[in-house]
Structure 1
Amino acid sequence: MKSRNVVRLFFSTLMVGGISTIILGFIIRWSEYQPFFSTFNIKEILSITFWLLGLGFIFSVISQMGFFAYLTVHRFGLGIFKSLWSPVQIILIVFVIFDLVYFRFQWFAQSEESILAYVLFPILIFTYGLIVAYIKKSQTNKHAFIPAMFFMVVVTTIEWIPALRANEESWLYLMLFPLLICNSYQLLALHKLIKKS
């Protein structure tokens, strides 16, 4: 890929992360920010908007680091495991989904809390990953499905670790959704930029 396309991908992903975090931030924390809108406090609204934009840029950079790290890992995986790389990725996807349920439950569950409450995020990530992987496969070829699924599930979960450690509900949503959006954007834009190059 040409360097100008790498730069284009970087800045476009940065904007996707920033704008999506602004929109999602106001939606997720509406009860907290609603008083500023009802009193037309423009100064507070602008300061929150810029804060969310900066946060979105940070999420975007984390997403991009994960994306380029995955491209490197994928090349190594193909070189080391060859035809076994797809089964290895499937095993890792299952392992990460299980860990996302089990370890979150072990670390954060209250005494009477059900494990079912900890299944929502893994199901959400897995379902979204399936949709993006299917789109990637339909736009490129059938061999792209498992790598896309691996990236959307495993790499997104690794990128999401800071919010997982905090385990505060609004932060979990606020970080996860922009990461999913940025990751899917990069994944679906990559083959188009390579074709242009």
Structure 2
Amino acid sequence: MNTRKLVYLFFSTLLIGASSGVIVGVLLDLDTYFDGGFLNFFFGVLWMFGISAAISLVAQMGYFAYLTLHRFALGVFKSVKLWNRIQVVLILFVLFDLIYLRYYAFASEEETLAGYAIMPVLLFMYCILVAYWKRKETNRGAFIPALFFMFVVTTIEWVPALTVDIVNDTKWLWIYVTPLLTANTWQLLILHRLTGVPNEKQSKSHSK
């Protein structure tokens, strides 16, 4: 991949992640943005855009860190199947932790474990859909790595928001996770197009 494509990937991811954060931030707090006049709205959007852009930068660092980890793990384990099994175990472990540890850390007596499972389960379902899309556009072997990246890496990037009591609020959790999800989804689904990696059907047609 040449420099032009890298620059495109960087700025497009930054813009998509930041814009999604602004949209969700405004929709979840309409009164704050619209009750103070145009300048209040303008500077509020600008502030949210800056925060979301910073979060999308974290997503970009996480993506390239995972690409490095993935190559390193394949070299260490010498087996795609073994590395995929390890990733599946880690996915399940993170899903459990994302539900139980937040419940243990923040839940009041009135709150239930089921209430703390809603966001992780929705996140997991979304990640499955993205991973399936990646598999469909490339090959079957891309599903587990894509799911691992979308769920585990996104969760790791989300940790600062998950572990601070101040932002243990559904609104702020969505504001933090939205730029991460949109940036990671975009990176995952655009990279093979930028690098020109053929999908499974194209590979079979070329092999005939």
Which blocks of at least 5 consecutive residues in structure 2 are unaligned? 198-208
CA deviations over 1:148-187 (Å, ceiling 9, x no partner): 0000100000000111012232210101112111100000
Contact 1:125 1:152 in 2 (8 A): no
Contact 1:137–1:144 (CA under 8 A) maintained in structure 2: yes
What pairs up with 1:95-134 in 2 under 5 angstroms? 95-134=93-132
Alignment partners' CA distance in 2, 1:118 and 1:80: 36
Tell me which residue corresponds to 2:17. 17
> 57, 62, 65: which is aligned to 1:61?
57
CA contact (8 A) 2:17 2:178 kept: no
**Take 2:46 and 2:111, find their aligned partners in 1: how far apart are those partners?**
37
Pick aligned residue for 2:75 from 76, 79, 103: 79
Matches within 5 A, 1:1-197: 1-36=1-36, 41-81=37-77, 82-83=79-80, 84-166=82-164, 167-195=168-196
Distance 1:43 1:32, change over 3 A: closer
User: Given the two structures, how large is their TM-score scaled by the length of structure 1?
Assistant: 0.94
User: Following the alignment from structure 2 to structure 1, what is the Cα–Cα distance between the partners of residues 128 and 96?
Assistant: 17
Whole-angstrom CA distance in 2 between matches of 1:35 and 1:109:
33
Instruction: State the 1:108 CA deviation.
Output: 0.5
Task: Report the number of matched residues.
Answer: 192
What TM-score, normalized to structure 2? 0.89
Letter in 1 for 2:152: V
Alpha-carbon distance in structure 1 between the residues aligned to 2:76 and 2:120: 29
For residue 119 of structure 1, give the secondary structure of its aligned residue in structure 2: helix
Q: Percent identity?
A: 46
CA distance in 1 between partners of 2:179 and 2:56 (Å): 8
Name the CA distance, whole Å, in 2 between partners of 1:153 and 1:137. Answer: 15
Letter in 1 for 2:102: R
- Opposite residue 121 of structure 1, the aligned amino acid is M
Larger mean Cα displacement after TM superposition, 166-175 or 41-50: 166-175
Unaligned runs of 5+ in 1: none
After the TM superposition, list the runs of 4 or more consecutive aligned residues in structure 1 that deviate by more than 4 angstroms: none
Shift of 1:112: 3.0
CA distance in 2, matches of 1:136, 1:63: 18
> C-alpha separation between the residues in 2 aligned to 1:127 and 1:2?
34
Q: Which amino acid aligns with 1:173?
A: W
Post-superposition Cα deviations, 1:61-119, rounded to whole Å, max 9, x if no partner, equal 01001101010111111111223000000000000000001110110111232100110
Counterpart CA distance in 2 for 1:32 and 1:115 is 31
Once residues 22 and 106 of structure 1 are traced to their aligned partners in structure 2, the CA distance between those partners, rounded to angstroms, is: 31
Measure how far apart 1:31 and its partner are: 3.6
